[in-house]
Amino acid sequence: MKLSAKAGILSLLSVFIYGTADSAVAKDVEKKAATKPVAKQSVEKKTNAKNSTDPWWKHAVIYEIYPRSFADADNNGMGDIKGITQKLDYLKDLGVDALWITPCFPSPQVDFGYDISDYCDIAPEYGTLADFDELVAEAKKRNIRIIMDLVMNHSSDKHKWFEESRSSRTNPKRNWFVWRDPKSGPLPKNSSGAEDPKSPPNNWQALFGHSAWQWDPKTNQYYYHFFYPEQPDLNWRNGQVKKAMNDVARFWLDRGVAGFRLDAINTLYEVPSLKDNPVKPGKNAYGDPNMDDKYNYLLLPEIKGTMRDLRKVLNNYQDNPVLLGETTAERIEQLIAAYGKNNDEIQLPMDFRFAYINKLSASEFRNKIAEIDENEVGGQPTYVFSNHDIVRHYNRYGDGKNNDQIAKLTAAILLTTRGTPVMYYGEELGMENRDPERKEDVKDPIGILGWPEQKGRDGCRTPMQWNAAKNAGFSTANPWLPVAHNYKTHNVELEDKDPASILSFYKQLLSVRKKNTALKYGKYVALNEDDEHVLSYLRKRGGAAALVACNMTDQPRKVTLDLSKSGITVSEAKVLMASYSAPDSISASSFTLPPYAVLIADVGKSAN
């Protein structure tokens, strides 16, 4: 599938489902910080002697949690912070190193947390700052770090910054958001042929439907919103905004978080000229004309300076805090650019290209891996298959018959390629998507607006499947979304007991990945580059080498290898793990893989 200009959430939505501190801000941040003594993250020197300079995130696996759906400690049908804390032992046992928690800040919940009305607190429905501090502390005991979601592009229209901004044209915060007069000159005609006196400044459309400009009658101007009207865009050309957001980052870093996932980072800036976007033929799911959003959705150079400044904020903290970017890129060069020329911008720009392939093609995967693995700035690949905006990859890659086997195959690719993988809660179980069947059941507003073509994102946000009891053990109350249909067969309790389950496979992978030197530190070496059916590669470091072979087809496939070209002389490969019942050792030059099977074997010097 070709990437559209609006990759990441953007194409994912449309394709698959769819200066000086402002003293008031500074005071607000200080006041909140004072609710608890600052708990600076201490440096944890749990490093390998050979790689003592590697930051923790270089060998970490990040696990995304959608807090509303993960674990419900107070049994009100909605997940919460205490729920996450209660499940830390599960996450430790699974083997993940950091949790990225999607927004859990106070919010009117129009976009389920991505519309933030206070950046420096916890939403009451999810708990308190004290609950959050407890989560950080308990996670730390288990060597798990917490990454927060930083939504820099927009706030909620209920944030006091916006409420002040919209109160008058002369308010000191007016310029914190993007306000414009109606279009002047010849006005466009409305549907009844009359001129529209309040015509928006240009033809830009919001990603979530209709004009990106919202008329505000109080001050007779429009404000700009790339997403919902309830999510006004912050004006990043105003230095005070940057300062305020950096203060927000400090607030959470002071509380011990290990970094931030940067939301919708490509939309921070718009072209100052506000040029109309070119209109394309046809209409989208919201009934709007299709458009090439080339002037409001592009990687303007200003983003780079903003990222470097944010990195500097992080660099003042111990333990290498990390930036994990929602970096949507049309071209590989754009993704690589996100690291910064000196690798001084986003350490982990998420690579969504696995999420777009959607077919088991050895050559496509091989090409995508090579393109990013060989990036000239030495940036760390950050692969993603699923998240809270897209149909779960269990469904996208599954063929309806071999989904469990395919889920193991994709897990092996995610967790054995070189990089920092990002998992999505429940993928370790083979949780499936459950799209709403009726418009009246839809919770995600884009699903309501775009029904039935656009069903929204509810389907990938269903409750975590803890057991086979009612509501999958997520809550005794009716959950905010119904659980996915496969919870009776795909849940933690059941899969934990089954050595052949997807969960057991993930656990084994995560453990092998940690223990095996080649898988942990080794470079990636593609093998059999002309093989269209089997994706094979080595991870190699000095005398240590691991072989990974993935049969991407529904037929048995013979794999013939000449490892001598890579300096490997062993004749026998010692099987580390496999998704089928493989013998303990196999020939390192020839073996057959059953359909959709994966083999991971030691072919290092010590293997024979």
Q: Which residues from 228-267 bind ligand BGC, rule CB under 6 A?
A: 263-264
Tokens representing 86 are 């209660």
Burial 471-499 (b: 16+ CB within 10 A, else e): bbbbbeeebbbbbbebbeebbbebbbeee
Nearest approach in angstroms of CB 212 to ligand BGC is 13
CA proximity to 482, closest of 56, 4, 57, 69: 69
* Residue 111 touches ligand BGC, criterion: CB under 6 A: yes
Q: CA-to-CA distance for 446 and 458, rounded, in angstroms?
A: 10
Q: What does the block give as tokens for 254? A: 């002071």
8 Å CB contact between 387 and 324? no
CB of 231 to ligand BGC, least distance (A): 6
d(C-alpha 83, C-alpha 116), whole Å: 21
What residues contact 410, with CB distance under 8 A and at least 6 apart?
354, 385, 393, 397
CB 213 within 8 A of CB 233: no
Closest CB 9 distance from ligand BGC, rounded Å: 4
Q: Which is nearer to ligand BGC, 149 or 254 (CB)?
A: 149
Query: Given the complex with ligand BGC, which of 226 and 506 has the nearer CB atom?
Result: 226
Could you say whether residue 425 binds ligand BGC (CB under 6 A)?
A: no
Q: Does the footprint of ligand BGC cover residue 326 (CB under 6 A)?
A: yes
Shortest distance (Å) from residue 150 CB to ligand BGC: 11
- Residue with Cβ nearer ligand BGC (107 or 517): 107
- The helix or strand, by DSSP H or E, that contains position 422, with its residue range, turns out to be strand 422-424
Size of the site for ligand BGC (CB under 6 A): 10
Q: Is 330 a catalytic residue?
A: no
Q: How far is the CB of 241 from ligand BGC (least distance, A)?
A: 16
326 is catalytic: yes
Nearer to ligand BGC, 65 or 576 (CB): 65
As measured in angstroms, the least distance from the Cβ of 255 to ligand BGC is 22
Three-class secondary structure assignment of 470-512? HHHHCCCCCCCCCCCHHHHCCCHHHHHHCCCCHHHHHHHHHHH
- Give the Å distances, CA to CA, from 97 to 225, 262, 398: 35, 19, 27
Question: 536 in the Ramachandran plot: left (φ > 0), alpha (ψ -120 to 50) or beta?
Answer: beta
The b-or-e profile of 545-579 (16+ CB within 10 A means b, else e) is: bbbbbbbbbeeebebebebeebebebebbbbbbbb
Among the listed residues 263, 319, 330, 531, the single catalytic one is 263
Q: Which is nearer to ligand BGC, 388 or 434 (CB)?
A: 388
Distance CA 116, CA 264 (A): 14
Active-site residue, from 326, 364, 435, 602: 326
Beta carbon nearer to ligand BGC, 207 or 570:
207
With respect to ligand BGC, which residue has the nearer C-beta, 317 or 356? Answer: 356
69 contacts 462 by C-beta, under 8 angstroms: yes
The residues, any chain, with a CB within 8 Å of residue 147's CB and separated by 6 or more, are 62, 98, 99, 100, 101, 257, 258, 259, 260, 261, 322, 324
Give the number of other CB atoms < 10 A from CB of residue 190: 12
Q: Please pick, from the candidates 105, 114, 161, 474, the single residue that binds ligand BGC as defined by CB under 6 A.
A: 114
Please identify which residue in 3, 6, 7, 9 interacts with ligand BGC, judged by CB under 6 A.
Answer: 9
Residue 151 Cβ, how far from ligand BGC at the closest point, in Å? 6
Q: Which of residues 115-174 bind ligand BGC (CB under 6 A)?
A: 151
**Minimum separation from the CB atom of position 405 to ligand BGC (A):** 29
Cβ–Cβ < 8 Å for 549, 598:
yes
In the complex, the smallest distance separating the C-beta of residue 298 from ligand BGC, rounded to whole angstroms, is 16
Three-class DSSP labels, 336-402: HHCCCCCCCCCCEECECHHHHHCCCCHHHHHHHHHHHHCCCCCCCCCEECCCCCCCCHHHHHCCCCC
Give the per-residue contact string, 199-228, with ligand BGC (x = CB under 6 A; - = no): ----------------------------x-
Residue number closest to ligand BGC, CB atom:
114
The residue among 372 and 446 lying less far from ligand BGC, judged by its C-beta, is 446
Per-residue x/- track, 427-466, ligand BGC (CB under 6 A): ----------------------------------------
Binding mask 372-391 for ligand BGC (x = CB under 6 A): ----------------xx--
Cβ proximity to ligand BGC: between 108 and 595 the closer is: 108
| 375 vs 377: CA distance, rounded Å | 6
Using CB under 6 A, list all residues that contact ligand BGC: 9, 111, 114, 151, 227, 263-264, 326, 388-389
Catalytic residues: 263, 326
